[in-house]
Amino acid sequence: MLKIWGRRNAFNVQKVMWLIGELALPHEHIPTGGDFRGLDTPEFLTMNPHGRIPVIQDVDGTIVWESHAILRYLAARYSNGVFWSDNAGIRSQADRWMDWAQTTLQPNFLTGIFWGFYRTPESQRNWQAINESIRRCGEYFLLLDRMLGHHSYLGGETMTLADIPAGTTLYRYFELEIERPSLSKVEDWYKRLQDRPAYREHVMVPFADLKGKLEAR
């Protein structure tokens, strides 16, 4: 059985769990990281020398770490072309949005806002940096809003891996008490994602226990 190490309220774990849910893959979840600890054990470091979650071990013993590498691996192995095409051009439509989310959106939202604002105790917040991240994220979501004016999902009219990294941010982005621009197309996309059982189960996970809590990831 596929095994996954991580915690349900970890952002990068949620991306992987969402795809596992979409693919209906039998799996064993092993709570690791945060209050569950276990990232610095010899056993875990043998799987991932960086000591970070998520990590998966497939049924044949293959071990993969880094959330986007895991997404690509699972989609290539198990989705029968639904989430990861054999056509390089079509595949690039998902790949480019995955890389953009990881290198541009996620650092500003997850690090700049979620960690800088929500997970940092109020007395330690750097408001100049937080407000700059909020501004930048507003611009990035406006870009997504324009793109989603042309089709239902980032990669076209059906959901692909393109939607997972950016789509995972939406629950937290709309739940936080921060200033946001008007995003009608993004909100419509968010509603479509909420109609998916795997999204509701694995992404819409309450995170109140993380407020003001600065700990190892």
Task: Give the per-residue pLDDT at 166.
Answer: 98
Task: Give the per-residue pLDDT at 19.
Answer: 98
Rounded to whole angstroms, the Cα distance separating 68 from 173 reads: 20
Describe the crossing of helices 67-78 and 88-100 by its angle, rounded to 10 degrees. 150
pLDDT digits (tens, 9 = 90+) for 176-199: 999 999 999 999 999 999 999 999
Please report, as a single letter, which amino acid is at residue 156. Answer: G
Q: Which domains occur in the chain, in start order?
A: 2-78 (3.40.30.10), 88-205 (1.20.1050.10)
Task: Give the per-residue pLDDT at 216.
Answer: 55
Sheet holding 63-65, edge to edge: 27-31, 2-6, 55-57, 63-65
Backbone angles phi, psi at 56, to 5 degrees: -120, 150
Rounded to whole angstroms, the Cα distance separating 120 from 143 reads: 28
Rounded to whole angstroms, the Cα distance separating 81 from 201 reads: 24
Residue 106 falls in which region: left (phi positive, over 0), alpha (psi -120 to 50) or beta: alpha
Task: Give the per-residue pLDDT at 114.
Answer: 96
Residue count of the chain: 217
* CB distance 60 to 34 below 8 Å: no
Rounded to whole angstroms, the Cα distance separating 189 from 181 reads: 15
Task: Give the per-residue pLDDT at 35.
Answer: 86
Rounded mean pLDDT for each run of 10 residues along the chain, 217 residues in total: 96 98 98 92 96 97 98 96 88 94 96 96 96 97 97 94 98 96 97 98 95 76
